[in-house]
Structure 1
C-alpha cells in the first residue's frame, strides 16, 4: 500500500483506537484533497477499514481550500465536528491544541508502529510537548531564494543568514 494510503489507514485506526469505536459508528473525515487519484486511495482505505470493522462507516466530505480555512474553526467548535480533518502544522496546530479540539494520538501512533515509518522531522511537525496530534500526509521543502544584486544594494551579507530554528516553523 502506498504511503498516503497507509497514513489514511493510520488516521482512521488511531481515531477508532482512541475512541473505542462500537457498532454503528460513523467516522466523519473532512478534507480539501482535489486530486482524484488521492481521493480514490483514501476511499479505498475507508472501504477496506469498513469491511474489516463491521458497524463502522467512514463518511468523507470535501470542502474547497478557502472555504475549508474559513469554516474549520467554527466546525471544530460544534458538537458534530469531524473525527478526521486536514490541518496544518505550526501556528494552526498550536491554536487547535490550545482550543482543545484535537485528540492526543501519541499512544496509538507509537503502538501501531507508525512513528517508525514516518520521517522524524515530519512527525515532529505534528508533535507538541511530547504529544502527537496529527500525521503528515504530504511533505514539501521550503527554499529561500534571493537576488544577489538587491542584497548587495541593501548591504545584506547573505552568508550571515542562518537556517530558522524548527521551533519557528512548528510552533514548539
Structure 2
C-alpha cells in the first residue's frame, strides 16, 4: 500500500504540471512487449510510454551523446557492463531499494551495482554451462575429475573421431570458470565497488586454475588449437560429446537434431563450484531526465514485479533475473541449468578497465598451453601488463 501511495503521489505531481511521457530505448527483441506493457501503464496511470527501437550497439553511444543535454531516452535497456562508463559520466540515476528486491538473483543485482549503489534493474542473465550429447554421455559429470575420465573414455572408444571435450581453452571467457572456481578473480569486489588496483589473476587460486587448463592440454583432453567455431561445428555435427557454451547456441543444436542436455560446469572438487562470467541485461534511468522520478517508479513498482518479469521472459526468453520467475519456467531444463550456472557465477566487471584484461589473459593462456611460459610466469606477467595499462 505504501508503495502504491508513493507512485500515486509522483504521478499526481507530474500530471498537475504537464502531460508526462516516458521514452524507452531498447533493441528489437524488447519492443513489442514493452509497447504492450506501456499501454497497460498508460491505461492505469495516464502516463504515455513511448518505446523506440535502437540497434543494440548504438544504444550506449547514442545515450552518451543525448543524455548530458537532458535529451534522448528516460530509460534505456542494455548491458550491465555499460554501467561503469555511464556512471563515470554522471548519466545514470541510482535505483532506490524496492519491494521484492530479495527475489532477484544476487549476480544480477551485483552486475548493475557500482560504488556500492544499484544503477540498473536486471531482467535477464547469461552464462555458459556444460552442454553434452546424450548419445555419448548419459549422465553429466559432477566434478572435473569425472569430466576428464568421461572425455578420455570417449576419445579412446571413438579413436578421437568423436572428441570427449571441446572448448576454446585459450579464450579467457571460457577458461574463467576454472580460474574463478579455485579462487581467482579479476578485480577485488568490495562493499564500495570493484577495486581495480587489486587484481587476483595471479593469486594461488588463479594459478591452480591455469594449471588445470594446462593439464587438459597435456593429457590431450582438449586441443589448444580449438576455437569457438571448431567447438560449435563439431557439436552440431555430432562429433563432440561435451562442450562449454552459452544459451545463444541452443537453437542451432536443436535444429541440427542433437539430443543434448545442459548441466552445470563440473565442480573443481566436491563443493568447490565452477564460476563462469555472468552477463546481465537490464533497465537504466537517465539521471539528466526531467522524468527520472517517474522512470524510477515505473521500474520499481511496475516492471520489477514477478508477473511483468515473467511476461518479459515469455517475449524474450533469456535466463530470468528473478528467482520466482525461474520457478514458473522450471519445466524447461535448459533455462534452469543455465540460470543455476549464472547463479554460481561472477558478473563480468562493469568498469572500463576490464577492456585491458581480455587480450592480456588470452595471451597468457596461449603461452601456458603451448609450453612457452609456466602458469606462474604467464599469469604474473599478464597482471603486470594489465596494471601498467590501467595506470
TM-score, normalised to structure 1's length?
0.66
8 Å Cα contact 2:25/2:52 also seen in 1: yes
Secondary structure, aligned partner of 2:48: strand
Superposition CA RMSD, Å? 3.3
8 Å Cα contact 1:104/1:131 also seen in 2: yes
8 Å Cα contact 2:92/2:119 also seen in 1: yes
Structure 2: tracts of 5 or more residues without a match: 130-166, 171-209, 216-273, 278-344, 353-391
CA displacement 1:84-134 (0-9 Å, x = unmatched): 1023223x2111111111111123xx2x32x12211111110012221110
**Are 2:142 and 1:88 equivalent residues in the alignment?**
no
Give 1:1-172 correspondences, 5 Å limit. 20-21=10-11, 22-23=14-15, 24-32=19-27, 34-35=28-29, 38-54=30-46, 56-90=47-81, 92-107=82-97, 110=98, 112-113=99-100, 115-142=101-128, 145-146=168-169, 157-159=211-213, 166=346, 169-171=349-351
Taking a change above 3 Å as real, the CA distance of residues 160 and 72 of structure 1, as seen in their structure-2 partners, is farther
Secondary structure, aligned partner of 2:72: coil
CA displacement 1:51-90 (0-9 Å, x = unmatched): 1112x11111011123334423112222223111023223
Taking a change above 3 Å as real, the CA distance of residues 122 and 160 of structure 1, as seen in their structure-2 partners, is farther
Q: CA deviation at 1:49?
A: 0.9
CA–CA separation in structure 2 for the residues paired with 1:42 and 1:168: 26
Secondary structure, aligned partner of 2:121: coil
Q: CA deviation at 1:44?
A: 1.8
Secondary structure, aligned partner of 1:87: strand
8 Å Cα contact 1:26/1:57 also seen in 2: yes
Q: CA deviation at 1:136?
A: 1.6
8 Å Cα contact 2:63/2:72 also seen in 1: no
8 Å Cα contact 1:104/1:132 also seen in 2: yes
TM-score, normalised to structure 2's length?
0.32
Taking a change above 3 Å as real, the CA distance of residues 97 and 160 of structure 1, as seen in their structure-2 partners, is farther
Larger Rg: 2
8 Å Cα contact 2:22/2:74 also seen in 1: yes
